[in-house]
Every structure is written in C-alpha cells, then in structure tokens.
Amino acid sequence: MSTILLDVADINTFYGPVHILEDLSLQVAEGELVCLLGGNACGKSTTLKTILGLVRPRTGRISFDGVDVTSKSTADRIRRGIAVVPENRRLFAPMTVLENLQIGAYVRGTPDPADLERVFELFPLLAERQAQFAGTMSGGEQQMVAVGRALMSRPRLLLMDEPSMGLSPRLVEQSFEMIAQLHEQGVSMLMVEQNANMALSIADRGYVLQTGRIVLSGPSAELTSHDELRRAYLGR
C-alpha cells in the first residue's frame, strides 16, 4: 500500500464570517496524481492556500509526510517539500527564463546544475530560450517555465492550480500531456482543475467540490461514469 504523503482532515476554513471550506478531507499518496474538481468559487483555490498555509483553517488538521503542519508557516511547508504551480503562472516577467528557474531553487540554496539539466531534459525549449524574458513567452511556454520553476526545489508534492486556465484548446492538451509525463516519472501531485474531462483522463483519483464540501470522490474511472458528475461537469 502506498504511503500517504498529504492528509487533510476535517478542515474548516473561513474568510471572516464566511464559511468557505466545510469539513473538507482529502489525501494524496506517494506517486499519486489526484484532481480536485469544481466550478468557480467552490473553494478549490482556497483548499490549495490552506494546504500551503497561506490561509489558516479554524479547525481540522493537515499532515505532510507524517508530520502535523497545521500550525507551520508556508516557508516551513515549502522546505518540507511542497511546491506550487500557481494559477496564471505568475512568473517574473522582466526576468529571463533561467532566472525564473533559479528562483525555484531558493529553498535549497545554490541551484544544482543537475536540477536545471532535469528541467531542460523535460522541456528542451527552455534550454533554447533560457536567455529570453519570461513575459515575452506564450501561455504554453510560460506554463513550462512555471512547472520547471517548481521542480527546481525537488518537491515531494506538486500543487497545480488550474493548469488549463487561459490556454487555447491545443495548449490545454499539451499542458495535460506534460502533467501526465510528470506523473509517469513518479511526481506526486494534487491538481485543482475545472476541466473535468481532461483532469480525470490522467488522474488516479478525484474529488468533487461544491460550495466548500466534498460531494464525490473515488477512482477517476468511477467518477467519469458517475451520472451526476457526467451531467454537471462532463457535458453528457
């Protein structure tokens, strides 16, 4: 049985008096790709922010690699091996591709050339464009930089926030092919996504979030065939 890497148990997160996440629980095992599905304003991004420690839950517990990190800082969680590819990439536009990648290794101190080589093997285009300013790249190319930047920290768990956001259908397909490739290499991932069809096609398991509550969960094949999910998210 795979080791549970991330264990989120009975989380309740508030923004002021507004109850955003209600008794939310989910898990990600070593080497697993898990997707968190849901529409706009259902709490997906807040879930990632809570896991990262950017938002603190009022109640509940978050464990990472067997350690309770509920009260730990975001910096501590990153040092323990959590990395994020944020929504809309959020690169440093006036900096080069190489500089953006090197920033991803700051938690490890001096960037390791072997880590950079791994990123360039995964994304040969970035090796060719390492002197280009990140802000001049296309959306799909910026996604490569954002993923490469996260990988530079050698993460135990990669959080991906809406990887298809703002991309054309062709680039969405390329983005998910890239995520599937990372999964094949054994990278553990929790992916927040609205595109249920694409997410479930590559994920091992999924959770469906509605108004801050998990309403469905299970293996991807099981969720794909679920009547309610098909009607609500898969357009069938």
pTM of the model: 0.88
pLDDT at position 236 is 44
pLDDT at position 92 is 79
Give domain status of residue 205, yes or no: yes
Give the range of the structural domain holding residue 29, as residue numbers without chain letter: 1-81+190-236
Percent of the chain whose pLDDT exceeds 70? 94
Q: Write out the two tokens for 5.
A: 């890497």
Burial 142-175 (b: 16+ CB within 10 A, else e): bbbbbbbbbbbbbbbbbbbbbbbbebeeebbeeb
Token pair 């996604």 in the structure block, residue: 143
What is the rounded distance in angstroms from the CA atom of residue 76 to the CA atom of residue 81? 9
pLDDT at position 230 is 61
- CATH code for position 228: 3.40.50.300
Q: Write out the two tokens for 194.
A: 């609205």
pLDDT at position 190 is 98
Max CA pair span of the chain: 51
Give domain status of residue 18, yes or no: yes
Three-state DSSP class for 134?
A: helix
Give domain status of residue 197, yes or no: yes
Give domain status of residue 217, yes or no: yes
For the stretch 91-132, pLDDT in tens is: 878 899 999 899 888 777 677 788 899 899 988 999 999 999
Burial 187-201 (b: 16+ CB within 10 A, else e): bbbbbbbbbbebbbe
For the stretch 190-216, pLDDT in tens is: 999 988 889 999 999 999 999 999 999
For the stretch 46-101, pLDDT in tens is: 999 999 999 999 999 999 999 999 999 999 999 999 999 887 777 878 899 999 89
Give domain status of residue 36, yes or no: yes
Burial category of 123 from C-beta neighbours within 10 Å (exposed 0-12, middle 13-18, buried 19 and up): buried
Count how many domains the chain has.
Answer: 1
Three-state DSSP class for 148?
A: helix
Of the candidates 69, 220, 216, the one whose C-alpha atom is nearest the C-alpha of residue 156 is 69
Give domain status of residue 22, yes or no: yes
pLDDT at position 156 is 94
Give domain status of residue 171, yes or no: no
Q: Which contiguous run of DSSP H or E holds residue 171?
A: helix 169-184
Question: In this structure, how many other beta carbons lie within 10 angstroms of the beta carbon of residue 10?
Answer: 13
For the stretch 143-189, pLDDT in tens is: 888 989 999 989 999 999 988 887 788 888 888 888 999 999 999 99
Three-state DSSP class for 114?
A: helix
Give domain status of residue 137, yes or no: no
Q: What mean pLDDT is reported for the chain? A: 89
**pLDDT of 141 strictly over 60:** yes
pLDDT at position 113 is 85
**pLDDT of 235 strictly over 50:** no
pLDDT at position 228 is 67
